[in-house]
Amino acid sequence: MRNAALVLGIIGGLVGMIVGFFSYGYTEFVDWAGQEIPDTFEQVENVGLIKFMSLFAPLLAIAGGAMARSRAMIGGGMMLVSAAGMYYAFHFNAFTMFPIAMCALGGVLALAATKPDEH
């Protein structure tokens, strides 16, 4: 189960990086183009949250996946926080369903690993 959590966390984080890259880019583009061409693009409600989660949610998922084999409890918690952050910031849609589901499942598998952590 730890290996599955590792793979799900890393893949979920990589897909989340793509979502985060485009979300961050959209907010920057609207800041730039919104001034040039008024009433064309609509800015998101909370730009700071989108920018923060675009970086840190995938980072938590990748780090949590990498830790899943040696420190399953910490890695699983990081993946669950990442999935919750992606859900809160980006909502559940066609582009976020895979990274959210992969991170959440990886977190649950890491927490459910029966073998105690190695010290």
Domain locations in the chain? 2-111
62-95: pLDDT as tens digits = 999 999 999 999 999 999 999 999 999 999 999 9
The angle, 0 to 180 degrees and rounded to 10, between the axes of the packed helices 72-90 and 97-111 is 160
pLDDT value of residue 95: 96
60 pLDDT higher than 80: yes
- What is the pTM (predicted TM-score) of this model? 0.90
pLDDT value of residue 118: 66
Sign, CA dihedral 51-81-95-44, equals: negative
* Residue 104 burial (CB count, 10 A): 20
